[in-house]
Amino acid sequence: MDLLRDILDKQVVDREQVKIGKVDGLVVELRPGKPPKIVAVELGSITLARRLGERPGRWMARLAARLGGKRHAEPHRIAWNKVRDIGVDIEFDIDVRETAILDWQDWLRDHVIGRIPGAG
């Protein structure tokens, strides 16, 4: 399997089909004499910023830590052994509510969007 082509930047959903994000990065274990093995996928702004370069990566990590605290100072990871299905989306056998990935959306919902009348 061509990892960069087939996995990276694909849509990620949890077991309830909730859209979590895209595969922003891959954590790969290099094994001598054998093909590399995916250990986990990474999601979030820090990973994306690292893809642009070292410096944007550092800035984003600092920004995320300041805004979100320690929980957000490192990129979010989902272990590859949780993968359930690879189709149009990649489905992981997790519940996104148990992770910190969508914390910012929850904050937005509770503090901004949810307070506007008619938000449902």
- The rounded Cα 106 to chain-centroid distance in angstroms is 15
> How far apart (Å, rounded) are the C-alpha atoms in residues 99 and 40?
15
Tokens coding 32: 């001598």
Select 4 or 30, whichever has its Cβ closest to another protein.
Answer: 4
Q: Which residues pair with 25 in a beta bridge?
A: 42
> How far apart (Å, rounded) are the C-alpha atoms in residues 88 and 77?
21
Min. distance of Cβ 22 from another protein in angstroms?
4
Burial of residue 75 (number of CB atoms within 10 Å: 0-12, 13-18, 19+): buried
For position 72 contacting another protein by CB under 8 A, the verdict is no
Min. distance of Cβ 17 from another protein in angstroms?
10
The region of 33-41, 45-53, 62-70, 72-80 touching another protein under the rule CB under 8 A is: 45-53
Select 34 or 93, whichever has its Cβ closest to another protein.
Answer: 93
The region of 4-12, 31-39, 57-65, 76-84 touching another protein under the rule CB under 8 A is: 4-12
CB 36 within 8 A of CB 116: no
Min. distance of Cβ 13 from another protein in angstroms?
9
Residues that bind another protein (CB under 8 A): 4, 8-12, 18-22, 24, 43, 48, 51-52, 88, 105-106, 108-109, 112-114, 116, 118-120
